[in-house]
C-alpha cells in the first residue's frame, strides 16, 4: 500500500511538470479500464488469455475473502461464481453486522487475504513461466531480430519483415541488436552495402543502396538532427533482446522487472510482443519441453503470463488506501487501531468519526492522483 501510494504520487508530480507536447503523448482514460478491446493494451486478439487471467484473479480474490471470513467464524451471506456459459467472476458477501463487530485484527486479515492471494498466484505463475517454460527457450538463429521495416525504405524493397534475422551488415557479423546499431552507425548515405539475413528459415545474401537518414527522417516527420546528414538509412527497427528478461525478470532489477511487466505496453506502442508470432517464431524450444508442440507451448506461456500480469494488476490496485478497495478498509481499520493505542480514553464513536474522515481525505487524494495521468492531456 505504501509503495503503490508513493509511486502514484511521484508519477503525478512528474507528469504535472510535462510540457503540452509531452502531455499530448500520454494515454487517455481508456487505459484505466480493464476491458479487452477498449483498453489498447488489452487487445481482442489476446481475449482468451485475458479472460483466463481475469477469471482466476477474481475467483481467487473473492473466494479467499470468503474462506477467511468463515475461518474467522463470521457469517457469509453468499459466496459463489458468476456464470455466463463459463465462470466469468466470483462474489463474496459477508454479513456486514458480524464484520463490523469483529475485532479489528480479524477484519484486516479478511480484507488483506484477497490481494495476498493474488500476489501468491502472481509469484507462482511467474516462477512457472520464467524458470520452467522460458528455461527451455533459445534463439532460433544468431543475429538481430527485425522489429519493423519502414515503408518505401531499402529494407522493405529488399523484402525484410518483422521476425527476420540480420546476420551480417557490410561485412560486420551481427549477433545481437548492439552489433547492428554499431554497424549501422559506420555506414554512409548512398553507399552500396552487403547484407545477410534469415527469412522463413532460409539464409539470403544481398546488397542494397542506402538512403540519407536526414532526408528520410524529414520526409517521414521523425525527430530529426543535423548530425544525421550523410548517415546511411536502411529503414529497419530492431527488436530488443528480451529473452534474458523472460528467463529471469529480476536481472538488472528494477528495470528488468519493469520491462517484463511492460510487455503489453510494448505491444501497443512498438508492435512488439516476444510471446506472439512472428516474434515467438524467432525462438526454438530445447530440452525435455521440446516434446510439446510449439503452438501449444506458446499458448501455455501466454496463459501464464496473463495470469501473472492480471493478478499483479488486481493486487496492486486493490491495496490502494481508497474506499471501497480492500486497501481502503485496511487503512481505515489501521487508523482506528492507531487512534486507540494513542488515546485509549477516546470514545468509539469519536474514534470511528476521525478514522472515517482521514480515510475519506486519503481516498480523494488517491482518486485525484489516479486520474491525473489520464486527464491532464485535456487541460490547456
Contact 306, 46 (CB under 8 A): yes
Burial, 109: exposed, middle or buried (Cβ in 10 Å; 0-12, 13-18, 19+)? middle
Q: What is the CATH class of 151-234?
A: mainly beta
State the pLDDT at residue 85: 52
What is the rounded distance in angstroms from the CA atom of residue 208 to the CA atom of residue 158?
7
Pair 24, 377: CB distance under 8 Å = yes
Report the pLDDT averaged over residues 317-335. 90
Average pLDDT over residues 12-28: 81
pLDDT, mean over the chain: 89
Q: Is the pLDDT of residue 341 over 60?
A: yes
What is d(CA 261, CA 281) in angstroms, rounded to the nearest whole number?
A: 21
**Which one-letter DSSP state was computed for residue 218?**
H
Three-state SS at 201: coil
pLDDT tens digits, 60-73? 998 898 889 888 88
State how far the alpha carbon of 348 is from the alpha carbons of 89, 98, 312, 328, 343, in Å.
37, 17, 36, 19, 11
At residue 71, the pLDDT reads 87
Phi/psi of residue 33, nearest 5 degrees: -95, 130
| Three cell numbers, residue 289 | 519441453
pLDDT (tens digit per residue) in 184-230 = 888 999 999 999 999 988 999 999 999 999 999 998 888 888 888 99
Write down the pLDDT at residue 84. 57
**How far apart, in whole angstroms, are the C-alpha atoms of residue 190 and residue 210?**
5
Looking at residue 141, the DSSP 8-state letter turns out to be: S
Assign 88 a pLDDT band (cuts: 50, 70, 90): low
Q: Which range scores top for mean pLDDT: 77-91, 293-307, 320-334?
A: 293-307
DSSP state of 36: B
Residue 227: predicted pLDDT: 87
pLDDT at 207: 92
| Cell representation of residue 160 | 525484410
Amino acid at each position: 500500500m505504501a509503495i503503490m501510494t508513493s509511486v502514484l504520487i511521484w508519477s503525478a508530480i512528474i507528469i504535472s511538470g510535462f510540457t503540452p507536447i509531452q502531455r499530448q503523448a500520454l494515454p487517455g482514460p481508456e487505459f484505466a479500464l480493464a476491458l479487452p478491446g477498449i483498453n489498447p493494451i488489452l487487445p481482442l486478439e489476446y481475449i482468451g488469455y485475458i479472460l483466463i487471467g481475469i477469471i482466476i484473479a477474481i475467483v481467487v480474490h473473492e473466494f479467499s475473502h470468503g474462506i477467511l471470513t468463515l475461518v474467522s467464524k463470521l457469517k457469509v451471506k453468499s459466496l459463489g461464481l458468476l456464470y455466463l456459459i463459463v465462470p466469468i467472476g466470483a462474489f463474496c458477501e459477508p454479513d456486514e453486522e458480524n464484520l463490523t463487530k469483529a475485532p479489528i485484527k480479524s477484519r484486516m486479515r479478511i480484507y488483506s487475504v484477497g490481494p495476498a492471494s493474488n500476489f501468491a498466484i502472481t509469484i507462482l505463475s511467474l516462477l512457472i513461466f520464467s524458470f520452467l517454460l522460458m528455461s527451455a527457450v533459445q534463439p532460433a538463429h544468431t543475429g538481430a531480430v527485425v522489429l519493423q521495416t519502414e515503408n518505401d525504405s531499402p529494407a522493405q524493397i529488399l523484402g525484410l519483415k518483422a521476425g527476420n534475422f540480420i546476420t551480417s551488415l557490410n561485412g560486420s557479423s551481427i549477433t545481437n541488436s548492439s552489433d547492428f546499431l554499431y554497424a549501422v552507425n559506420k555506414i554512409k548515405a548512398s553507399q552500396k552495402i552487403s547484407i545477410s539475413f534469415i527469412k522463413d528459415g532460409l539464409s539470403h545474401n544481398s546488397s542494397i543502396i542506402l538512403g540519407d537518414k536526414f532526408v528520410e527522417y524529414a520526409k517521414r516527420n521523425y525527430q530529426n538532427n543535423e548530425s544525421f546528414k550523410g548517415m546511411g538509412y536502411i529503414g529497419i527497427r530492431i527488436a530488443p533482446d528480451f529473452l534474458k528478461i523472460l528467463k529471469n525478470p529480476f536481472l538488472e532489477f528494477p528495470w528488468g522487472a519493469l520491462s517484463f511487466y511492460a510487455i503489453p505496453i510494448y505491444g501497443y506502442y512498438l508492435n512488439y510482443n516476444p510471446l506472439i508470432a512472428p516474434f515467438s517464431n524467432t525462438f526454438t524450444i530445447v530440452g525435455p519441453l521440446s516434446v510439446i508442440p510449439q503452438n501449444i507451448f506458446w499458448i501455455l506461456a501466454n496463459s501464464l503470463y496473463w495470469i501473472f500480469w492480471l493478478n499483479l494488476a488486481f493486487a496492486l490496485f486493490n491495496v490502494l488506501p481508497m474506499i471501497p478497495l480492500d486497501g481502503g478498509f485496511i487503512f481505515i481499520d489501521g487508523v482506528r487501531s492507531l487512534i486507540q493505542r494513542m488515546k485509549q480514553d477516546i470514545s468509539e464513536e469519536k474514534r470511528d468519526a476521525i478514522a472515517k474522515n482521514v480515510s475519506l481525505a486519503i481516498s480523494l487524494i488517491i482518486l485525484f492522483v489516479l486520474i491525473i495521468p489520464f486527464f491532464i492531456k485535456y487541460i490547456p
